[in-house]
Structure formats: C-alpha cells, structure tokens
C-alpha cells in the first residue's frame, strides 16, 4: 500500500539547485544591502546566515537591486545555489526564525539555471514617501522623508513627465556610480498627494546609484517653488550631476517590485508595502475637509 502522506511530503520538497527568494525589510538599522566585510550590519549578511542555517551549508545570494543605507524594500528578490532539499514552508519559516524582525522572507521557489535575480529582471518599481507638514513627525519618522516647505504635487508631477522614456540620466546618478551606461528607460513617474503625504511612484527597466533620490531632490525643489518646472528638463539635458541639486534623504524610499518574464515562475509582488498599497487603492479619495488648509496649524479640528 502506498503511503500517500509520505508522497505528499516528498512532492512538497523543492529540489536542490538554483532557488529564488523574495523578502522585505526595513532598512533603518542597516548600512545597505551589500555585505561590506566589516562589522557594520548589512542585510545580505543576515539573509545569507539565515539561509545557510536552514540549508546546513554555506550559501551566498545575488540580489535584484542593491539598496542603500536606510532604504527599505517590500519585494527584493535574490537567487542562490543549494544542495539542500527543503519544502517551501521550511525555507520561508526557517529563514524567518533566524532573521531579525525587520527582515522577512515571503516566498522561495525553484528557478532554472539561466535565471539571474539582477540580470533577468525587466522592470523595477520604487516608491518615495514625503511627509509634507511644518511640524516634524513623531511616528514613522524613519519610514518617511520630512519636508516642511509646502509642496505642489501638481508641479512635481508635471516636471516628472520630462523624465519618462529613454534618457541619459547622468545628472541623476551618484558620482561614484559604477554602471557602464547612464541610459535608462522609465515607464512612468507619477506624483500624488494623500493628505500630508506626497508619494513619488516610478517604474523603469533599471536604476542608477542614487537615481531615485536625486530625482526626488529635483522634484521637491520644484514642488517648493525654489525652481521652475522647466528646471527638470534643464538638469536632464545638462548631463552633469553638479547641476542636479541635493540628493534626497533615504528615509521614505522603498524598492516595491521587481518584474521577471513569466517563464521563470518567480512570485510577483502586490506592488508596495501596506501603507503605500492603502494610498494607491485610495488614489481617487478626496476629503476636502482634510485637505483644505494643511498649512494652517491653528485650524480647528472640530
């Protein structure tokens, strides 16, 4: 007689080979994704240690996109090689049992040998959240960037459309950026307001080092009326980082999605962490009473 429970258990095992994994993390306590071969805490080190413990062997991972110090992610993707056979449940919950509470694995699955977490990705999406109010926040202060100057999301969105498409983004890359080419394609770049929070939503084939934060810095200057809308095009066409103004703070920046061809079978993302999902789902919401005078601190709340 066949033991069906044993067969079910065997079938649930993921065979050894190349595996892909998706995870989320709050980047505040870390010096970025990439291991730095020192005592500074980096997300890669914690993830590799957790996977290695579950696999009972040393494992190294390759990620879809290296995030900077204090930058968050809701759908980072990595791949790794292993000789261990574990169920998806064992991989996910075993890793999470050995990870800090601000790093969480959500999916693990087998992929073909030609899958590469970085080079197989065809699109990446980021969200940047700005708390736009004169008084600094006491909650979520490391999840949002605070800007006390009034921002016009309408001007920011208008300026942002200059960057959509295929361009040379030299003016928006870090001086130390190691990419061989400054050319990138942006599918869309939208700016919306949700009460006191302004959200920048951008998707492209790939991004240069500090590119999203440099874009945010330019758009915030325009939104604060420090620069005209046309300045965004001027910066782009200058192809000179020194013309682009300040790099926005890392707080509030999230890697929210990485897309791969469907043939690889990599689990997709719902697009954003819950706070951003809620705002996207309520994009049409317009509470005039809440929005009517966000800069009048004396306004009655009755």
What are residue 112's phi and psi, to 5 degrees?
-70, 160
- Among 3, 39, 45, 68, which one carries the catalytic annotation? 68
- Name the residue among 40, 43, 77 with its Cα closest to residue 62: 77
What are residue 80's phi and psi, to 5 degrees?
-155, 160
- Name the residue among 199, 213, 192 with its Cα closest to residue 68: 213
- Name the residue among 233, 151, 163 with its Cα closest to residue 192: 151
What are residue 204's phi and psi, to 5 degrees?
-155, 175
102 is catalytic: no
pLDDT digit string, tens, across residues 120-141:
999 999 999 999 999 999 988 8
Given a contact cutoff of 8 angstroms between Cβ atoms, the answer to whether 112 and 83 are in contact is no
| Domains, the chain | 4-110 (3.30.70.580), 123-251 (3.30.70.660)
The answer, yes or no, to whether residue 3 has pLDDT greater than 60, is no
Q: How confident is the model at residue 283 (pLDDT cuts 50, 70, 90)?
A: low
Q: How confident is the model at residue 295 (pLDDT cuts 50, 70, 90)?
A: very low
Burial label for 35, CB within 10 Å (0-12, 13-18, 19+), is middle
Given a contact cutoff of 8 angstroms between Cβ atoms, the answer to whether 201 and 192 are in contact is yes
pLDDT of residue 6: 46
Q: Going along 34-132, which residue ranges are E strands?
A: 61-63, 72-82, 86-87, 103-110, 123-132
pLDDT of residue 282: 67
pLDDT digit string, tens, across residues 175-230:
888 899 999 999 999 999 999 999 999 999 999 999 999 999 999 999 999 999 99
CA distance 139 to 73: 19
CA distance 173 to 117: 22
Mean pLDDT calculated for residue range 4-16:
66
């Amino acid at each position: 007689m066949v033991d069906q429970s044993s067969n079910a258990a065997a079938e649930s095992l993921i065979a050894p080979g190349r595996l892909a994994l998706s995870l989320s993390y709050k980047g505040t306590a870390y010096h970025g994704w990439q291991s730095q071969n020192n005592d500074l805490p980096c997300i890669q080190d914690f993830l590799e240690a957790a996977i290695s413990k579950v696999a009972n062997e040393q494992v190294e991972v390759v990620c879809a996109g290296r995030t900077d110090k204090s930058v968050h992610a809701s759908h980072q993707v990595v791949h790794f090689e292993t000789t261990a056979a574990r169920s998806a449940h064992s991989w996910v919950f075993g890793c999470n049992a050995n990870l800090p509470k601000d790093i969480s694995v959500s999916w693990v699955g087998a992929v073909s040998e030609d899958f590469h977490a970085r080079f197989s990705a065809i699109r990446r999406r980021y969200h940047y959240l700005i708390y736009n109010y004169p008084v600094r926040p006491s909650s979520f202060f490391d999840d949002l960037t605070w800007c006390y100057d009034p921002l016009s999301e309408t001007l920011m969105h208008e300026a942002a459309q200059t960057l959509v498409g295929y361009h040379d983004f030299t003016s928006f890359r870090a001086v130390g950026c190691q990419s061989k080419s400054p050319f990138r394609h942006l599918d869309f770049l939208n700016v919306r307001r949700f009460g006191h929070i302004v959200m920048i939503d951008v998707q492209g084939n790939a991004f240069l080092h500090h590119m999203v934060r440099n874009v945010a810095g330019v758009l915030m200057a325009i939104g604060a009326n420090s620069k005209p809308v046309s300045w965004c095009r001027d910066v782009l066409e200058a192809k000179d980082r020194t013309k682009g103004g300040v790099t926005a703070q890392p707080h509030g920046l999230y890697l929210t999605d990485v897309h791969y061809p469907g043939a690889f079978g990599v689990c997709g993302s719902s697009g954003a962490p819950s706070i951003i999902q809620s705002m996207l789902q309520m994009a049409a919401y317009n509470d005039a009473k809440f929005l009517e005078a966000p800069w009048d601190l004396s306004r009655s709340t009755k």
